[in-house]
Structures are given as C-alpha cells and as structure tokens.
Structure 1
C-alpha cells in the first residue's frame, strides 16, 4: 500500500514537473518574440493563403501579400458598423445622446464568449459611479475600444442591418461579405439540436453542409427571436456547454470575410479626412481614434485609429495614422488557422510592429525587401 502511495505521489510530481517545464518553454518562446516575427510568419505561411497583408505608406503600396484573399474579419468588421453609426448621427437619424439601458444591452451579452470584453466595458462605467444608463455614443465607443459583441449586435438592431450592409458598396468595395449578428450566430448549433432533435455530431455535419446564406439567415432569425423572448441566464450558460472547439471553428470560419486590400482602402479613406463629410468625422473620430486620448501619442501623431479582432483561430488588425510630419500609413493584416503559439505571439508583437513601421525608416525598408517578393 505504501509503495502504491509513493508511486502515485511520484507520478503526480513528475506530471507537475513536465507541465512546469512546458509552461516555462512556452513563456520563454513568447517572451523572445520581436516585430521581425511577422516577417518570419509570412515567409512560412504566405503560400497557405490563410494570411494576408496590405501596407500603404505615403500613397505607395509598400507591401501586398494575398491582398485579394477573403479571410474572416472577426471584430475588425466593427469598423463598418462604426461608419454607419457616424453617418446616421451626422444625418440626424440617430441621437448620440440617447440613453441606453445597460439591462437592455445585457440581452445581447453572453458571458465567456467575448474574452471578457463586455464585462470590462461595464466595469469602466460601474467603477466611476453606480449607473444603469449610458449614451448611445458610449455604446459605439465600447464596441471599438473594448470590442463588445453585445454593443455591436445592439447597434446592428438600432442602425439596421440593411443600412450597415450598404456601407461597403458606398466605399467602392465589392469584396466584402454581408454582416450579421455576431452573438446570435453562436446559438445556431443549440437551436438546430433543439428544433431538429440532432446530436452534437449530427449538428456538426448539418453546419458543415449549410449554405452560408442560410447560416446568416439563421443568425438573423435567432437575433429577432431573442429580442421578443430574451434569453434566460440558464440558456446562456447552456451555450458554453454546447460550443466546443469544433463548433467554435465553424463559427469563426463563417464570420464576415473581406480582404486586406479592401480594408487598406477603408483605412485610406479614414486617414485622408477627405472622403467623409466633416460632420461624419465629428462623430466617427472619437470612436475610431481613441488612441489619441493618450498624451504620448498626441506628441507625434496628428491622428491615428485602429481596430483589431481575434477568435481562437483568427487574428486581424486594420489601422491608419498620420504623423506630425505628414507621413501617412495604412495597414491591414488578416490571418486564419493560427496555432495558439502563433496567436499569442501576434498579440504580443503587433503593436510594436506597427510602431516600428511608423517610426523607423530602416525597418520599413526591411519590410519591403523581405516581403515584396512573396
């Protein structure tokens, strides 16, 4: 009995050591990552067509890799919603001061599905004072700054999906799939299981075979249903049990897709301050350019804005900047089918990569020389 006891202790200790070594190696690999990692990643994966990049600098197409490849946008798509919001406010169709109930937003929120984004946004308000309403303009800011999916789906309802889906065309972009409710799409598997009495395996097969238009229509139908019959806490908790990695992969792959070519073009329109009317920028810039609240950024930038996105498999970023010397940069980066290590490394280095490109002429030359031929 004593031998068995010590054998178990030994196995547990060994298991702990192996895990500990693995964690240390993981941390060491992540810690050693630098901006040049993105160059290496493109050299390794560019031929897979699951990674794309468009960088424009002072009206020159600096780098274009797989720029016409449709890839999932994740939360970067929220830029389109922000543009439609600003246009409707500028036209007087929507009141930015309209008070929105936090309880109303809660109907669109499902815990543990957005990386804590909506909860973090709520904490910002509740840490200042005990409030239960916020202006619509702050809902829009929370969609971009905190990447709240709940705020996004609420704005889709207020602004109208048809209006939002006309934005890309108005910008001269044809390679952009329609938007649909992000949160509601998460419930498609559980709704199929309930209505068609399917097992998880059968539901997975049904989803894989489902036409993309049908998938979007399911998401929209669920969105409308949840408005009239709000989800209970129990129904939201049940979603977490259903959404395994297979279902998450389908949800991720079927998110609205576009190209880095298209988003570099959108960034150019935002950066120039000439495409949209001044009244639109009056409401759009405070949402898109929250970077400029930082006094350090104001020291060297005239203006800058960005929006990123991620899932367990996707990492995206779209940004624009004009520095105080008048240099203008637009960047769009999309990647799909990433490993956990790749995802984590990109999260760690993307900001540094952008800053180095904006500030370091030698780094810009390196990017062009290393990536131009891919």
Structure 2
C-alpha cells in the first residue's frame, strides 16, 4: 500500500462523498447473511470518490501485504496494494476495463507518457459513473438556455423520485449538507421549501443522489440524453433511463424478484429492459399510493452474488475508452464547448474543496459508482508537483462481477481508488502497469 506520503484515500461510499465527509463510513457486512443488503447496507449508485490528504507524492513506497507470496502468481481475492490490484486484474481480465494516459491540451492522447488501454472498448455496467453523461446533458441545456440553474425546485418535486434505503444514504446526506431538516427516512420536513435547480446537479455528483438524478433525467428528457451520447461520441454507451425504474425491475412491490423468478429478468433484452424501466418510473410518478407501497418495500430476496448478476444485466453500459475520452476533454475544457466543460468541472472537481488537496493537485475531477459486484471510477487529475506536474492525466477503471469477498474488501479498503490515483501520480508505476497489461 502507498504510505501516507502519497495516498491517504478516504472514500465516502455509504454516506455520500462530498467535502462534508472525510473518512469511510462502510459498515461491516457478512457475505454469508446478506438477504437484505441491497436495501439496508449496500451502496446503490453511490459515488465512490477519494479524499486525498495533502502530502508529498514523490516519497511514496509500495508495501506488499501478502507474506511470502508473489502477487503476480498468488491468487488475489482481497487486494491490499496497488501491485495486488494489478495482479487481480491480470488474474480476472474478462470483467475489468482500464484506460489511463496523459493528455495534450486538446484532450488527445500524449504518447510521450505510458498509455494503458486494457479492454478499453468492452462495454461494462456503469453504476453511478453514467451520471457524467447526465451532467453533460444538463450543462448543454444550461448553455442553450433551456434550463435555468437558478430555477427554484420544491423539495416535494425532488423527493417524488426518492426511494428510501436504496441510495446508500445519498439523499439524506445531500439534505444534511444543505442544512435542510429531514425525518428518519430522509424526507425533508418542509416539502414546500425550494432549492435552485443547480443544487440537484450538485447532489447528483457530490452525494450521488439518485432522486436528483432521476429528476434531471425527467427534466432533460430521454431524447436529449440520447443526443448527448451522440454529441460526446460515445460508441459503446447504452440508453440511460431512470434509476428508480431499473430498481423497480428488481424490487417491484407487486412482484419482487427472487432466486426462482430472476431468470425471467435475465432473459430480457436491452430494449425490453429500457421500456419496462421507463414505464415503471412513470408509474412511480403517476400513482402516489403505489409509490408509497414501493417505498415501504424493505427486502430484496436475492443474495449478493445474485444481485451482482441481475445488476450486471440491467444497468446501462459503457466503455472505459469512451469515458476516458469524455474526461480528457472535460479536463482540458474541450468537451462540446468551454462553457459546457466549465459547468461540468464546477461539480466534478468537488475534491478540490477539501483542505490540503490544493497542494497535491491543480485540478481533480471524478465520478465513481458502486453496485453489488460492481465498482467504477472515472477521473481526470492534474498533479501540482512531481514529474507530471500540470499535465492532465485520465484514469478510468471498471470492475464487474467481482467475487463477494473481493467486492466487500474493496468497499472497505478503497484500494481500487488508490490504484487509479497512483497511476496518475507515479510515472514508474504507470509504466510498470502499462508493460504488465500489454
């Protein structure tokens, strides 16, 4: 593991991830007794973004944690260092995508530095990383004048999309950061209170609030999101639909999925998943009594491995290559227009508000996500010191179908994030990884 001289990564996965938080809030979970993990203790579409201490990246040292073993040959089930993450990737190549490179000022690849493109075009489920696309569409609408970021939005309208206990506490965390009193389930005490529309975009990225995300999807419209995907040049991105609709495919109060019935869900094609998710989301909005019955649903009848299989099938997918290109362009103010890029950076660069990060980074923008068996990270980083000072680096890392032990371990150690940032800060490590994954 990196010593404190490089990375003291403190990722907020279970209780939001904005500047309000400064350490992991992951609860201990036993993988042998997890029938309700989805609604009680598993982060669902919650950002997993690092908080980095201001320290000297040039004094890092890697300390292996497996005694008397070689991480390139030993079976790695719970990586505890950057080297072991690399070994895990080599041992499990089919469910990992990794892209990392330096950029030129126009966002193109700078071939002078190590280039890593491992399964770069393989579509994998995205979890909350897909919210980068929604943010881009929001930024386009703001630039076009079709959305006013200062428009007052009632909390009632925001929370019409909220489903308690399915977002890892993201919505309650957003309200807490905003100083809005809420009840024990996370609903605002005063639903008539308003916030500016831009606050919902902020909550979508800072805390990874699913209700804010679905409100924005509804306001933007699915055709606008489809067009944004085209505008971004994303070749592998599937259609983005309301998150609540996707969750309702699994936890419909009329017919919740269990181990026996899950096969019918796994047999749905992409078009059917999208159509049913949209219809369920519309029903969630149109029928308040049914929405309440849904919100009272408290049990998911699938174990962790089954949840991983289901979400792998139903979630929108994209490639690390596509997301690296988007983050490279945003990080250089070249995505669609400088105004769109700057609007996106206003939200993505929340780590720069953490005291001390300004000594390590000139810029740091990120959006991650987590679902059972799934961890996704997309970053652009401009180091403030070291060999790569003031050079924009891009790292995108997608894990899917992780074994239970590995997923639960990474949810507590956040080692995948340390690995990603190490690639952006440590030229020797980046070159080593590039060589290993050729």
Q: What is the match of residue 60 of structure 2? A: none
Match of 1:206 in 2: 264
Q: Which residue does 2:277 correspond to in 1? A: 219
Is 1:193–1:200's contact at 8 Å kept on the other side of the alignment? no
TM-score w.r.t. length of structure 1 = 0.83
Gap change, CA 1:252 and 1:337, over 3 Å in 2: same
1:342 aligns with 2:406: yes
Q: Identify the match of residue 283 of structure 1 among 343, 347, 352.
A: 343
Q: SS of the counterpart of 1:186? A: helix
| Native 8 Å contact 2:367 2:378 kept in 1 | yes
1:214 aligns to what SS in structure 2? helix
CA apart distance, 1:52:
1.1
SS of equivalent residue, structure 1 residue 337: coil
1:267-290 per-position Cα deviation (integer Å, ceiling 9, x unaligned): 111112123322223322111111
1:266-345 to 2 correspondences below 5 Å: 266-324=326-384, 325-345=389-409
- 1:165 is paired with a residue of what secondary structure? helix
The Cα shift of 1:233 comes to: 3.3
- Asked whether the equivalents of residues 79 and 415 of structure 2 are also in contact (C-alpha less than 8 Å), the reply is no
Q: Residues 79 and 85 of structure 2 are in contact (CA less than 8 Å); yes or no, is this contact kept in structure 1?
A: no
Change (3 A) 1:366 1:346: farther
Q: Paired residue for 2:174?
A: 121
**Taking structure 1 as reference, are residues 199 and 30 closer, same or farther at Cα in structure 2, changes over 3 Å only?**
closer
Aligned to 1:146: 207
1:365 aligns with 2:392: no
> What is the alpha-carbon distance in structure 1 between the residues aligned to residue 319 and residue 258 of structure 2?
33
In structure 2, do the counterparts of structure 1 residues 128 and 241 end up closer, same or farther at CA, with 3 Å as the change threshold? closer
Match of 1:5 in 2: none
SS in 2 for 1:241: coil
Whether 2:231 is the aligned partner of 1:173: answer no
RMSD: 2.7
Distance 1:255 1:278 in 2: 31
Taking structure 2 as the reference length, the TM-score comes to 0.71
Q: 1:121 to 1:62 in 2, by over 3 A?
A: same
Residue 299 of structure 1: how far off its partner (Å): 2.5
* Paired position in structure 1 for 2:25: none
The structure 1 segments of at least 4 consecutive aligned residues displaced by more than 4 Å after TM superposition are 29-32, 127-131, 189-194, 198-202
Map of 2:73 onto structure 1: none
Which protein has the larger Cα radius of gyration, Structure 1 or Structure 2? 1
Decide which moves more: 244-253 or 67-76: 244-253
- Report 1:50-61 matches (<5 A): 50-58=95-103, 59-60=110-111
Shift of 1:346: 3.4
Cα 1:361/1:206, change in 2 over 3 Å: closer
Structure 2: unaligned runs, 5 residues or longer? 1-29, 31-75, 104-109, 183-188
Matched, 1:99 2:159: no
8 Å contact 1:192–1:203 — kept in the other structure? no
Would you say 1:182 and 2:243 are equivalent positions? yes
Distance in 1 (alpha carbons) for counterparts of 2:78 and 2:87: 16
- 2:321 corresponds to which of 247, 261, 274: 261
1:112 aligns with: 165
> C-alpha distance in 2, partners of 1:250/1:32?
25
Between 147-156 and 35-44, the greater mean CA deviation after superposition: 35-44
Q: Is the 8 A contact 1:171 1:266 kept in 2?
A: yes
Give the Å deviation of 1:142: 0.8
Q: What is the aligned counterpart of 1:352 among 418, 423, 429?
A: 418
The match for 1:158 is 219
Q: Which runs of 5+ in 1 are unaligned?
A: 1-18, 20-28
Whole-Å separation in 1 of the counterparts to 2:257 and 2:145: 49
Do 2:97 and 2:320's aligned partners in 1 also have CA atoms closer than 8 Å?
yes
Cα deviation, residue 86, structure 1: 0.8
Residue-by-residue CA offset, 1:16-75 (whole Å, 9 max, x unaligned): xxx9xxxxxxxxx999812222211112101xx111111112423621111121110010
The Cα shift of 1:199 comes to 8.3
- Structure 1 CA distance, aligned partners of 2:196 and 2:376? 28
C-alpha deviation, 1:357, in angstroms: 2.4
CA–CA distance in structure 1, aligned partners of residues 402 and 373 of structure 2: 5
C-alpha deviation, 1:113, in angstroms: 1.3
Deviations 1:83-112 (A, max 9, x none): 010110111110111122222222211122
**Counterpart-to-counterpart distance in 1, 2:267 and 2:214:** 26
| In structure 2, C-alpha distance between the alignment counterparts of 1:250 and 1:354, rounded to whole Å | 27
Is 2:78–2:405's contact at 8 Å kept on the other side of the alignment? no
239, 244, 249: which is aligned to 2:302? 244
